[in-house]
Structure formats: C-alpha cells, structure tokens
Amino acid sequence: MQINALVVDDSGIMRKMVMRTLAESRLAQFIFTEAEDGLDALKKFDPKKTEMAFVDWNMPNMNGIDFVRKIRANMKRHVPIVMITTEGTMAKVEEALDEAGVDSYIVKPFTAEVVRKKLEPLFAKLSQKSKKSKGFFSKLAG
Amino acid sequence: MDTVKTETTSGLEHTECVAEAAVEIFNATCGVTLEPLAEVENLAGDGVIIAVISLVGDVEWSVFLGLPKDTASAAAAKFAGFEIPFESADMGDAIGELTNMLAGQVKALLDQRGVKADISLPSVMRADNMSILVQRDSAGEKTCFNSPLGKLWTGVIVGHGGSIVA
C-alpha cells in the first residue's frame, strides 16, 4: 500500500525522525510531504492527494489542533490524522481525539515498535478501504 | 528518585519533577542513565547549549536543560540516530525537541499530582561561557548529572505572579 503522507512539525529533526520511523515500521510505502507549522501544512495539504497526516501539537503560527479543526471543517473526505506530541496528559489527548477529530495519537518519545502497534488498526482500516474501492472499480471495468 | 539539590532556594514545591523527568526522558530517547552529581559544577566552557521552556498555570516555571558541546553532540546523535554538527541549526532543533519532551514529562508528572500547567515552545541558545542569571527573589534549583554522554544539567526557576525571570 502506498500512502501520500503529510508530516507537520516545526523541528526539522523531528520530521526526519518521524519519516524514518514510519519508513521502518513497514506499515506502508510512504511518499512524504513536509510542513513546518499548521499554516504551512494548510498550504501543502492537497485535498486530492494527501491520504494521511502526522501532526505535532505545539508549533508556532498555527498549532496542530487548530490545523486539524480547519481540515475537518473544510474537507468532506475523511483523511486520517495522527497527532505526535509531548502532550501525554489525558485531558489534552481527549481534547484532540474528541473535539478536534484526531484519529490516533503518539506520545513522544516513541519507538518504531510503539508506532507500529499504535497505527496498525488505522492502517488495517485504510487497507480495507483501498481493497473495497479497487474491487468496485474492477467491477465497473469488468 | 533521589536527586541531589545543591543550588536550591525555598518555595520549590514539586520541582523535583524536573530532575525525575530528565532521567526518564534521557533513558527513553538516548538509552542512557543519568546519575545525579553531589555538587553542581559550572559546565559552561567552550561551547554550551541551553534550552528553556515555560510551564504556566498552577505553577510559573522556566525549565531548562544545559549541555556542554561534547554532551550535546553525543546526545543529539543518540536521539536523532545520526551525527549533528554542534554549530548547525539542526543541533538547536534536536536539543529544543529534547527539552520539549522534558517539559512534556514534567507536565505529566505535575498532572499526576493535580497541578495543571501549559507548556510554551522552547527557546534554544548556543554560546561560550554562558550562565543563567536569576532575579534575587526568585527560587531556583539546578541538578547536575553525569551520564555516558557526558555531564549535563537541568533546572527550574520559579517566578512569582508575573515577575520576569531571566
């Protein structure tokens, strides 16, 4: 499965680490686009191509939660969004999941194994969706 | 965890969370164990990097992490998985991110004690012979650690109702 993923973090090192960890997780073949804050991410989010976003919470200009709220308010298609954050307290996590519409979250620091375990259910859903849409299109073609 | 507090003033409830968080974060990110030293040493020699992050809410803290050049280079390489030149912007990114995680862990430890606070973005400074000056009426605590990466220190400065802490 090939995934166009947007990686949003104000730290260039963290973006590199997130991309490397995701690549090592072998959950999918990722094609990455990088953004350095929420505003930059809004510009780089492609409504047709972006299939997933990994978003830091605390960033200058526009934080991760505000970015998620904007995407959810303006896009009909559901793009899975994963928060990657140091904000591990329950109130913050609940705010992200319930109010803003985040699909999953990973608390820093993380390992490839933690990322894999946390994201496997999300990728299983994506894989099912991808198979269903492929089946639909092959029926049309047939 | 027992921490050694050799530069401590009064009014420092919960500040032991900073040293505790540092031990946890360096273990999780760099795979090393920090050992608190009995005395606070001046680690600011030829090249030091200091990152500061604020926690504001029920507390008004500036939490900092300071690393001499060699420790910073070793820590950044362990953390990122590749060498990062001390003079590069990436070094600021790496140490800023470590401090961000440190503050996140401090916040989580405070939360367990019913103390609520939000964290700011980190500010990172790199210089030679840098020292942190604290207002006379501000409380502060600094802990020096030894580790396989080299020596480093963490600390917290406690503000009082909107006072400037420098």
Say what the pLDDT of residue B134 is.
67
**Most confident option among A19-33, A89-103, A120-134:** A19-33
- pLDDT bucket at A135, cuts 50 / 70 / 90: low
Q: Is B84 on the interface with A (CB under 8 A)?
A: yes
Q: Is A133 on the interface with B (CB under 8 A)?
A: no
- pLDDT bucket at A26, cuts 50 / 70 / 90: confident
Residue B28: Cβ within 10 Å count: 14
Q: Is B56 on the interface with A (CB under 8 A)?
A: no
Q: Which two tokens stand for residue B64?
A: 């900092």
User: Helix B69-80 to helix B89-112 angle, to the nearest 10 degrees?
Assistant: 80
Q: Is B81 on the interface with A (CB under 8 A)?
A: yes
Chain A residues 2-61 with CB within 8 Å of chain B = 10-14, 16-17, 20, 58-60
Say what the pLDDT of residue B4 is.
45
pLDDT tens string A45-78: 999 999 999 999 889 999 999 999 999 999 988 9
CATH class of segment(s) B3-165: alpha beta
Residue B158's SS3 state is strand
pLDDT at B9 over 70: no
Percentage of chain B exceeding pLDDT 70: 81
Beta carbons of A109 and B28 less than 8 Å apart: yes
pLDDT at A25 over 80: yes
Chain A partners within 8 Å of B111 (Cβ): 89-91
Listing from the earlier edge strand, what are the strands of the sheet with A52-56? A29-35, A2-8, A52-56, A81-85, A104-107
DSSP B135: -
Beta carbons of B119 and A58 less than 8 Å apart: yes
CATH number at residue A128: 3.40.50.2300
pLDDT tens string B141-166: 889 999 999 999 998 988 765 444 43
Say what the pLDDT of residue B161 is.
55
Range(s) of the domain holding residue A80 = 2-141
Say what the pLDDT of residue A136 is.
52
Nearest to B108 among A10, A58, A88 (CB): A88
Nearest to B97 among A13, A60, A87 (CB): A13
Q: Between B151 and B130, whose confidence is greater?
A: B151
Say what the pLDDT of residue B8 is.
47
Chain B partners within 8 Å of A88 (Cβ): 104-105, 107-108
State how many domains chain A has: 1
CA B33 – CA A58 distance, rounded (Å): 27
pLDDT at B39 over 90: no
Cis upstream peptide for A109 (omega within 30°): yes
